[in-house]
Structure formats: structure tokens, C-alpha cells
Structure 1
Amino acid sequence: MPTGLVALLDDISVIAKASAASIDDIAVAAGRAGTKTAGVVIDDAAVTPSYVTGLSPARELPIIWKITKGSLKNKLVFLLPAALLLSEFLPQAIVWLLLLGGSFLAYEGAEKVMEKLGFGKHGETLEDEITDPVAFENERVGGAIRTDFILSAEIMAIALAEVASESLVMRGAVLALVAVVVTIAVYGAVGLIVKLDDIGLHLTKKASSAAQAFGRFLLRFVPKLLVTLSIVGTVAMLWVGGHIVVDSLHKLGWDGLYDPIHGAEVAVAGMTGAAGGVAGWLTATALSAVVGLILGAIIAFVVHKVFKIGADKAH
């Protein structure tokens, strides 16, 4: 009996050590994959506050929570199984899905630019009279979740590329960990950003003069921050969308856009010395955004003028 018990305890010890090692491996792989997605994560955080800007403060966190749940559903229910199945059985299809996703992001960003320039509105905006607040909120949440789906697909695709040589189980574990951590980080930050003005108002009522001064600073700063994030979010849609399209076409063997953009990035980096890395990246980013704007504008024209989708709203 003691021998059997000792043997059992030894087996449990070995299994526990193996499990701990696996968890460590998953964490390391997830960290490696997560660092590669940093740019898209920042874009996601910049885009999302625009969906609650101008709405009732009481609805801000509930809306963020709805979007958070939608984002987790996007990643864990739809994208994770799809990514694993495609990586296992049809890896060549992933680039085509990314190409479609990038085009959609470019369309969303270009549509916002066109609206700002007076080329018509597509759907209700905050400038319109909101006759059905519930329907308007649902439209905002739906739009945010659709945009999140594309950004999440890019995050999952980048993470998948980093662990492509791992086993199916390891790939699944890493993607799940990246999905949860990224979602919590992004929407936690967004929730804090949209409540900064409430925090500022609360601080202005404190007895401390320092707290009151900081509260007043937040009240002045937050509206400017939200406007800036709205602009950054639109640019991010164009940049990420354009980048995905250019990179996807490159992987498919067509370098008509990739070569000149990459060449400009290298040339600028070479001319700017110590700042070469940043200057080169900004050059590639700007050119990718231009590609996104042109492509998105073409898609928007076809959608709204040729197929007349949403044309009744474009007044």
C-alpha cells in the first residue's frame, strides 16, 4: 500500500510539474505573440471611445461592457475556432480573410472622413435628433463590435503567426490567453478614459485645493482627449486597414503597393539617422493610411452610390 501511494504521489508530482511547465510555455508564447499585436491593440483602444462620445454618462460603462462582451465573443467564439481550423486545414485562406477585413476597416475610416467633409451621413449621428435612444445605442454598440471583429481578427492572426509551429493545443491556449488579456487591457483603458470627466467632477468637490485643481484640469482635458482619440481612431482604421491590405497583397505575390511603401520607409529611415526607425515607421504608416483612404472611398462610393445602400440617410 505505501509503495502504491508513493508511486501515485510521484505520478501526480510529475503531472503537476509538466502542467506548470506547459503554463509557463503558454505564458511565454502569449507574451511573445502579444508584443507583436501592440500596434493593433493601441488602434483598438483609440477607436472605441468614439462610440460613447456624446452619449449619456450613465450609459457609458454599460455600453463599454456590452462592447467588451461582444469583443470576447468575437475572439473566443468566432475567431479562435476559425483560426485554429484554418491554420490546421486551410492556412492559405487566412490571408484572403485578412484582405477582406482590411478593406472593411478602410471603408469604415473613409466613410467617417467623407462625412466630415460633407459628403453625406450614413446612419444616425450625434448631430441628428435621436428619436429612439435604445435603437441608437444598439447601432453604436453594433458598429463598435463590427470594428472590433476586424481588429480582433488582425490581433489573432498576428498572434497565430507567432506560434504557427506549436501544437494545436498550444496554439489554442496562447490565442485564448492573448484574447482575454488584450480585451481586458483595451476595454479597461477605454472605461477609464470615458469616466475621467466624472472623476474630475468628483475631485472638484473635495476639500483639498490640490484635488480641486486636478479635477478642474481633468474637466478641461477630457473633451480634448476624446476629440483627439476620435481623430486617432479614424486614422487608425485607415492605417490598419491599408496596412492589412498592402501586406495581404504582398503575401499573395503582388507587390505593386508593398514595394514603393517599403522602399520609402527604408529611404526615410536611412536619411534620418538616429530617428530613422521612427521616421521610417511614420512614413510607412502615412502611406498605408493613404492607401486605406483611397480604397475605402472607392468602396464607400460603390456601396452608397452604385448599390444605393444607405443612400436614404446621405442628406
Structure 2
Amino acid sequence: MPSGLFALLDDISALVKASAASLDDVPTQVAKTTGKVSGIVIDDTAVTPKYVVGLNPARELSIIYRIAKKSLFNKLLILSPAALLLGYFAPWAITPILMVGGAYLCFEGYEKVHAMLSKHHEVDPEREDVRVMTPEELEKERVTSAVRTDVILSAEIIAIAYSQVTDQQLTNQIVVMLAVAVFITVAVYGFVGLLVKADDIGLHLTQEKFSPTLRKVGRGIVKLMPHFLRILGYVGTAAMLWVGGEIIAHGIPFTNHLLHELEHALAALPVVAWLAKALACGIAGLGLGFLVEKLVLLAKRLFARG
């Protein structure tokens, strides 16, 4: 009996050691996965600040916190379990779902590019219906819209994270996906919170109680932030098209082969290879977004007639 107990303890000890050795690779997997979703992370960071523009500055951090809390909830309790279940019962569905999300990113990116190039017009209250909203209603609508966009981006992040650990043990898969979800959510919304309050920090530094150097820095921050947010918006749009186009390209064997051929041809120049690949995917994403937008308009017309 004692020998049987010792044998069982030895087996448990070996299992624990094997699990610990397997988990040693988790930081590497998290870093690798985070790099893969960098484009989506940039886009998420660039998109979110617009949802607090025009709202009470005192409510900005509270709104960002609400969005971040919902984002983390979706990643941890809905999207990650869904990805694991799909990977176990229907692994063939991962790529099509990724491609649908990629097409949506292309569509959103094209819409942003179109809005940038289109001439803005002022709303004429006599010709267009203007909805009057209270600050509370506007805040609620902004949060809802932000969470809806975040769900799409989070789904892409979780799907890509899962695609990087399909050959790992289940324990590793769960730990890596949860770690990626927490790390990216904290990083994105922590940085977004810093962005939306940067002008307030700058204004605070301009007070007379600070040294001339700090006051100068504060004025610089106040002047710089509008331009920085505008550039960040452009970067986010480009990242959206690039990531969406790359997801679609990797899901089609022919275009996936072309991307690998491009990388191989420019292997001696890694930076040039990356830029060429990103540019090709971005242009393809813009074209695909145009097609998706036309299909959406056609579907709306057909439903309206029906």
C-alpha cells in the first residue's frame, strides 16, 4: 500500500513538473501572439479616443473604464471560451470566422478613408432630422458603439491568439489566451486613458507654480495633442486595412502563397519586405472594403424594397 501511494505521488510530481515546464513557454507565446495582433491593437487604440470627444471631460476616464471593463468581460468570458470550443469541435470554422472579421475591418477602413476624402457638410436642421439627446443618453450611446466595435476587434485578437497556440496543450492555450486578453486590454485602455487626459495634464503644467521649463512642456502638450490624435487616427485606419487585408490573404491559398513569395523575394531586406507586404495587404484591404461597401448598399436597397 505505501509503495502504491509513493508511486501515485511520483506520478503526480512528474505531471506537475511537466505542466510547469510547459507553462515556462507561456511568456514567449504571449509575446509572439501580441506581436501578431499589433495591427489590431493599434487600430483599437486609435479608434477609442473618438468616443469621448465632445463629452464632459470629468467623465472621460469613467467612460474609458466602462468600455475597458466590458471589453475584458467579453474577451475572458465569451470570446476565449468560444474560440476554445470552436477549436475543439469545429476547427475548420476558425479561418472563415477570421476572414469575415477581416472583411469587416476592410469595410470599416474603407469607410474611414471615404469619410476623410469626402467633403464634410453642415447639418441643416430644416432639411435633416436632428435628434436631441441628453448628455446621459449621448454617453450611453457612445459606450454602446465603442463596445460594439471592440467586440469585432477583440474577436479578431482572440481568434489570432488561438491560432498561435493550436499545437499547445489545453492548459497552455487557456493561460496564453487569458494572459493576452488581460495584457492587451490593460495596455490599450491604459494608453487611451493617458491620451484623453494628456491635454488636461498639459494645462495643469502651464500653471505659474511650475518652472518655466515645465510650463513650456505643458503648452507643447496642449498644442501637440490634436495633431497627434489626428495622426493616430490615420495610423489606425491604415492598420485596419493592413490587418484586414492580411487576414483575408492568409485565408486564401493562392494569395497566401503570393505573400510568402513576396517575403522570400525580399528576404535579404527584412524591413523592405515587411513594408511591401503591409502595403500590398493595405491596398488589397482597401479594394475589398470598397466591394463590401457596395454589397452592403445593395443589400440595404433590396431590403428597403422588400
TM-score range relative to shorter protein: 0.7 to 0.9
Aligned to 2:174: 172
Scaled by the length of structure 1, the TM-score of the pair is 0.78
The reply on whether 1:245 has 2:248 as its aligned counterpart is yes
Contact 1:72 1:183 (8 Å CA) reproduced: yes
CA RMSD of aligned residues (A): 3.3
Contact 1:43 1:233 (8 Å CA) reproduced: yes
Residues 107 and 152 (structure 1 numbering): CA distance in 2 closer, same or farther, change over 3 Å?
same
1:204 maps to a residue whose letter is T
1:96 maps to a residue whose letter is P
Aligned to 2:90: 90
Q: How does 1:1-315 map to 2 (within 5 A)?
A: 18=17, 24-118=24-118, 131-132=132-133, 133-205=135-207, 206-250=209-253, 255=254, 257-267=255-265, 269=266, 276-308=269-301
Q: 1:26 & 1:60 partners in 2: Cα distance?
A: 35
1:38 maps to a residue whose letter is S
SS of the aligned residue for 2:199 comes to helix
1:75 maps to a residue whose letter is K
Unpaired runs of at least 5, structure 1: 122-127
- The number of aligned residues is 287
Contact 2:51 2:142 (8 Å CA) reproduced: yes
Contact 2:79 2:155 (8 Å CA) reproduced: yes
Identity of aligned residues (%): 45
Contact 2:46 2:233 (8 Å CA) reproduced: yes
SS of the aligned residue for 1:131 comes to coil
Deviation string for 1:180-219 (max 9, x for gaps)?
A: 1111011111111111101000000133111101100100
Deviation string for 1:208-257 (max 9, x for gaps)?
A: 1111011001001111111111111222221111111111223xxxx1x4
1:81 maps to a residue whose letter is P
Between stretches 92-101 and 39-48, larger displacement belongs to 39-48
Residues 143 and 107 (structure 1 numbering): CA distance in 2 closer, same or farther, change over 3 Å?
farther
Scaled by the length of structure 2, the TM-score of the pair is 0.81
Deviation string for 1:151-183 (max 9, x for gaps)?
A: 222322232233222222321122111111111
Residues 301 and 59 (structure 1 numbering): CA distance in 2 closer, same or farther, change over 3 Å?
farther
Aligned to 1:125: none
Q: 1:282 & 1:199 partners in 2: Cα distance?
A: 35
Q: 2:212 & 2:143 partners in 1: Cα distance?
A: 39
Unpaired runs of at least 5, structure 2: 122-128
Q: 2:203 & 2:260 partners in 1: Cα distance?
A: 47
Contact 1:105 1:147 (8 Å CA) reproduced: no
Residues 258 and 150 (structure 1 numbering): CA distance in 2 closer, same or farther, change over 3 Å?
same
Deviation string for 1:75-95 (max 9, x for gaps)?
A: 112211111111112111100
